[in-house]
Amino acid sequence: MGIISPFGRGISDTIDAIRKAKREIKPLHLFPTTETPLPVGEISSFSVTDDISRTHALALAAAQEAMKEEGMKNGGGSPDAVIIGITTGGMPVTEELFKKGVVDPKRYRNHSTGTIAEYVARRVGCKGPVLTVSTACSSGSVALKIALEMLRSGRVKKVLAGGVDALCRLTYHGFHALQLVDATGAHPFDKGRRGMSVGEGAAMLLLTAAEVPPENAVAELLGAGLSCDAYHPASPHPAGAGAQRAMRDALTDAGILTEDIDYIHLHGTGTIDNDLAEARAVNALFGDRPLPPLSSIKGSVGHSLAAAGAIGAVVSTLSITQGVIPANTGFRESDPGLRLTPVINPTEAKVNTVLVNAFGFGGNNAALVISRPRVSKDFEAPICDVKPRAFAVLGSSCFTGAGDAGQTMQRISHGEGAGGIVPSADILRFISEKYVRRMKRLCRTGLSLAVSACNDSTTEKPPASVFFGTGWGGLSETHEFLAKLFASDERFTSPTDFVGSVHNATAGHVAIHFKATGPNVTMTGGDCSFEQALLSASLFAHNSDDPVLVIGADEYHEKLSPLFDASVAQGSVPADGGGALYLIPATSTSSLLIYPSFFSYAGNNRKCITELVNALGGGERIKDKFGAILAGIPAAQHKKGQAQLGDFLSITGYPYPVIDYRRFVGEFASASAVAAVLAVSFVKAGIVPGNICHQSPVPLQERGVLVLGFGNYITAVEIRP
């Protein structure tokens, strides 16, 4: 494990601070404020020397500690995958540049959340999947859940996973604008609690799949549960229904009962509503049974947002290895309405199993179960080697500059480009303007795509889960938030824009619309965010047979898009859009299947193309099963991507049409979601329009279409009849 937080840097500092019940919430010093600084959980004596953001540096510090321990015990080695939960990305640097009016795109190259996972992957030598999760304050725990499912699937053997966030103006002023900050510091579960304290930190855990715990195993991640309130963009369900469901699912996933829990590491932010909802959820989960010891550390270190769940996992592991339960610092008087009393002082106790909670905006709930490593289990363990399932396509939709899916297909069939800005009238065709009046462009686009995809289906069963991929999130809200903040000399800004700027805001609105209370996962890995969302959905598919929505969308913003996205700056015309697929886990009788068969970060891997071909079954299978390839190469990675595509064609000898889909749909991060929808349309029709491949129409002859991505990431999505 590796950790850095206001407690200090590393495991040793953390243990010492927990035993001494240190309260490290102090007035902000990291950046200037025009008013009296609010108390925050700021990491002191930490400076950034490289040309990166504070978020990048914190993530690397935690990762290096985790990998250093692994290197000492096992002679080195790199993780097979890196999965990190993040909300702020490179915002600490972006804010400074924006404030100064800097318009050089190169200075913003580390803005996106996805660059942090890539940065860590490069430094630790990862040659496999690199994923970025953005589910607000549950991000770190969701990253660990995805890692767990990836290990169970047999795709990887060793994963570095966790969460990170750095203090920045967006979160500091955003939570203050929502009136959720306590000017005296957070007092979780106290009768007089008045709000949270924003914090920062990072925690990484190196997970391995093994039948018998390795010698240096410190704990076992037994299970995890995810849910969505589907209730409100920023407020929790009053009864804690979603939180209870996540905890219950985590226990089921782990194969244990409530009486097996020795300690609950509470989310406990200190806000009135959140603590009440969590208390109600915990009480409902345990019923008449006595509650185990429980506490929140956010009164000591503040709320580290995306890092909170991962920090909770590390601290809970220390409870197991060190035999100490952390104090609920800041607690003074019991609240009768909560019906729970947290641990007031650090308590020595034998802890075998811990339940770890993390909840976030959009009703995103996550719970982990961590235990002492068990060599002999007296319970039925979850089945491993459960391969990710393919999905059957129930419905699909897309938006491009041409309009909706029908208009896009018509334009492409005539060999014309469909790139451009999606007309607002087309977005509103499937949703009521009155219903979305408080939403801005990306949320409207994502919700409209979801509704349209479901309308395209013949089933009336609503989706249970939502998986969303976006490279940049709500740029309109982000710009408005920062513009208002700096125009007011950093005094005022919009709480609505803050909530909408969170990357998972769109998925939250979709869940609320459909009352989808299953996992709600947003992935923000740049140009392959849609593929990351589809991969995550496939990893969870063995847990349920319910329909799911997988969506990819991005908006064009005239000021921010050219600064943030190098490919957009090189595009011929401004473009945005996205695609949505309404899916159900496939059975032996299903037709029209979609499956994410390959995903890898190419930065450290020179054998990536060979591995891609092997994952697809070799050149002969590729030629036998796929009658066309839709290839995506972001403009900023054109030279690299063209070389990779050339290697692929050389190895496979592929003879059929290879179509550069970005040339038709435009340059935006989620263009691959549109490509997937186009591929579905081609397979349904059994033919590829001739104009798109500069020849006569190409009959597929019962073959499928392969959607490939090249550049910094190599991806493959199969669409088969």
3-state secondary structure (DSSP) of residue 304: coil
Strand extents, DSSP E, 170-270:
201-208, 220-228, 263-265
Over pLDDT 70: what percentage of the chain?
Answer: 97
Secondary structure (DSSP) of 395-434? EEEEEBTTBSHHHHHHHHHTT----SPPPHHHHTTSS-TT
pLDDT reported for residue 82: 98
For Cα atoms 81, 85, 90, give the angle at the middle one, nearest 5 degrees. Answer: 105
Say how many CA atoms lie within 13 Å of 721 toward its Cβ: 16
Closest CA to 465 of 405, 533, 367, 392: 533
523-542 per-residue burial string, b: 16 or more CB within 10 A, e: under 16: bbbbbbbbbbbbbbbbbbbb
DSSP single-letter state for residue 542: G
3-state secondary structure (DSSP) of residue 125: coil
Secondary structure (DSSP) of 695-721? SS-EE-TT-EEEEEE-SSEEEEEEEE-
Report the pLDDT averaged over residues 491-508: 96
Structure tokens at 458: 């013949």
pLDDT reported for residue 139: 98
What is the pTM assigned to this prediction? 0.97
Residue 370 near residue 319 (C-beta atoms within 8 A): no
Confidence class for position 382, pLDDT limits 50, 70, 90: very low
Q: Tell me which of 614-623, 650-659, 686-695, 696-705 is least confident.
A: 686-695
pLDDT reported for residue 161: 98
Confidence class for position 69, pLDDT limits 50, 70, 90: low
What is the C-alpha separation between 389 and 644, in angstroms, rounded? 28
Number of CB atoms found within 10 A of residue 72's CB: 10
Confidence class for position 113, pLDDT limits 50, 70, 90: very high
Q: Integer distance in angstroms from the first to the last C-alpha of the chain?
A: 45
Report the pLDDT averaged over residues 60-70: 90
Report the pLDDT averaged over residues 417-428: 95
Query: Does residue 228 have a pLDDT over 70?
Result: yes
Whole-number Cα distances in Å, 317 to 189, 310, 338, 566: 23, 11, 26, 41
Which residues are designated catalytic?
Answer: 137, 267, 303
Over pLDDT 90: what percentage of the chain?
Answer: 88
| Unique residue bearing structure tokens 């496999």 | 128
Residue 5 near residue 311 (C-beta atoms within 8 A): yes
Q: pLDDT (tens digit, 9 = 90+) per residue, 658-676? A: 999 999 999 999 999 999 9
Task: Check if 2-371 and 391-720 are the same fold.
Answer: yes
pLDDT reported for residue 24: 97
What is the C-alpha separation between 294 and 312, in angstroms, rounded? 12
Whole-number Cα distances in Å, 172 to 42, 94, 192, 364, 599: 11, 15, 22, 21, 35
Residue 266 near residue 367 (C-beta atoms within 8 A): no
DSSP single-letter state for residue 198: B
Report the pLDDT averaged over residues 212-240: 94
Report the pLDDT averaged over residues 441-469: 96
Residue 262 near residue 347 (C-beta atoms within 8 A): no
26-60 per-residue burial string, b: 16 or more CB within 10 A, e: under 16: bebebeebeeebbbbbbbeebeeeeebbbbbbbbb
Whole-number Cα distances in Å, 132 to 117, 419, 554: 6, 27, 16
Query: Does residue 383 have a pLDDT over 50?
Result: no
Domain residues of the chain, as ranges? 2-371, 391-720
Query: Does residue 394 have a pLDDT over 90?
Result: yes
- CATH top class, domain 391-720: alpha beta
pLDDT reported for residue 71: 59
Helix and strand totals (H; E) in the chain: 24, 27
pLDDT reported for residue 460: 86
E strand or H helix at 582: strand 577-585
How far, rounded to the nearest angstrom, does the alpha carbon of residue 216 sit from its chain's CA centroid? 29
Structure tokens at 636: 């900023």
Choices 3.30.450.20, 3.30.1330.60, 3.40.50.880, 3.40.47.10: CATH for 2-371: 3.40.47.10
Q: pLDDT (tens digit, 9 = 90+) per residue, 285-302? A: 999 999 999 999 999 999
Which comes out higher in pLDDT, residue 202 or 35? 202
pLDDT reported for residue 376: 57
Q: pLDDT (tens digit, 9 = 90+) per residue, 160-218? A: 999 999 999 999 999 999 999 999 999 999 999 999 999 999 999 999 998 888 888 99
Averaged pLDDT of the chain:
95
What is the C-alpha separation between 42 and 23, in angstroms, rounded? 11
Residue 141 near residue 130 (C-beta atoms within 8 A): no
